[in-house]
Structure 1
C-alpha cells in the first residue's frame, strides 16, 4: 500500500507580507529592548524614532505601544508550527514525541539572532509585572498560538476534537510556562535549564493524561477519520 503524504507545510507568505513582517519584527525588537530597559515609561514615539520610522507608520502597524512587541513574541510560535508541519525525517513518531521535539527546537536558539530574541523576551517578561497591557499582549500571543496549533495537531492524529484541543492547550501552556520560568533566572538559553529543555519536559508532563497522543504521526501523514 503506498504511503500517505506527510502533513502539508504551512503556506509561505507572499513577498509583500514577508517585507511587512520584517519591518514589524524590526520595530518589535526595538520595542522589546526599550521595554526591557525602561519598563512602562517607554512611549510609542520613542519606539518609532529609535526604529527609524515615522509615528504614523508605527500606528499603521500597531494599535498601541505594547502591541509592538507581539511579532517578536510570535517568532517562536511560527517556528514551532513549522517544525510540526515539516518533520526532519520520514519516520513515524508518537504525536507526543513530535510535540516535545518541536517545542525543544523552537525554544533552543540555533544562532545568535535567535538567542538575542530570547534575551529580549526575558527582559520583557521581567518588565511585565509592572505593565498589565504588556502582559495582556503576552497572553494574547499564546492564545493565538493555541488556536493555530489545533488544526496542525488535528492533522497529526486521529484523536477526537476534545483530545486535540486539550493537547493543544497542554502543549501551548508548557511552552508559555517554560519561557516564564526560564526568564526568572539567569540560565543560558541553550542548556539543560533553558526554555527548550523546560518546554519539552512540560509537554511530556502535561500531555501524559492524553493516550490519544501516543499514536504515530509525522511520517504517516494525515489520518482518516
Structure 2
C-alpha cells in the first residue's frame, strides 16, 4: 500500500508540482480515504519516504549478499549496480525529490540512513569495528557514489544508463585524487 501510494504521489508531484498537489488529490488518485493516507503518511512531505527506505534497504542487502572473499571495491561496485533500477518511476522520484527543497531534505536524510545501515556491513568486510573511522568513512563514500550517480542520471538520462553512470562514478572514486578522462 505505501509503495503504491508513494508512486501515485510522485506522479502527481511531477505533473502538478509539489506545492500544487494536495493530500486529497493523492488519496483520491490512490483510491484511499484521507484517514488511510494519514495513517501511512503523517504529512505530504513523507509521501515518498517509503520508496527511499526501500532503496536504502536494497543497497544494504545487495552489499551484505556479496561473497565475503570478494574485495570491497568490487563488492561495492557490484552491489551498487545490482541495487540500481532504471525504471521511469525511479527517474520520476529522483527528479521530483531533487527539485523540491523539502523533499530534497528527505532525500539527504535517506542517504544518511543508508550510511548508518552500511557501516556494520562495511566493518565486517574490512575486519574492523563498526565504530571505526574506516568503516564510517567507507560507508559514507559508498552512499555518496550511489546518490551522486543517481542524481546525475536523473538530470541527464539521455547521456547514459544508470548502470553506466554508477560504474563511472565508482571508477572516479577508485582513482581518488587522479583526474578521470571522461
Q: TM-score, length-normalised on structure 1?
A: 0.70
Query: CA RMSD of the aligned region, Å?
Result: 2.1
**Partner in structure 2 of residue 53 of structure 1:** 32
Aligned-pair distance for 1:75?
A: 2.7
Classify the secondary structure of the residue corresponding to 2:82: helix
Shift in Å at residue 56 of structure 1? Answer: 1.2
Establish whether residue 154 from structure 1 lines up as the match of residue 132 from structure 2: no
Number of aligned residue pairs: 173
Partners in 2 of 1:119 and 1:55 — Cα distance? Answer: 27
Q: 1:168-211, CA deviations, whole angstroms, 9 ceiling, x for partnerless residues?
A: 111101111111111112328xxxx22233223323433556xx
Q: Trace 1:6-85 onto structure 2 (pairs within 5 A).
A: 23-40=1-18, 41-85=20-64
Normalising by the residue count of structure 2, what TM-score does the alignment of the two structures yield? Answer: 0.85
Q: Which SS does the other structure have where 1:93 is aligned? A: coil
Which secondary structure state, in structure 2, belongs to the residue aligned with residue 92 of structure 1?
Answer: coil
Cross-structure match for 1:104: 81
> 1:185 — aligned with what?
156
Q: Higher helix share goes to which structure?
A: 2
Does residue 147 of structure 2 align to residue 167 of structure 1? no
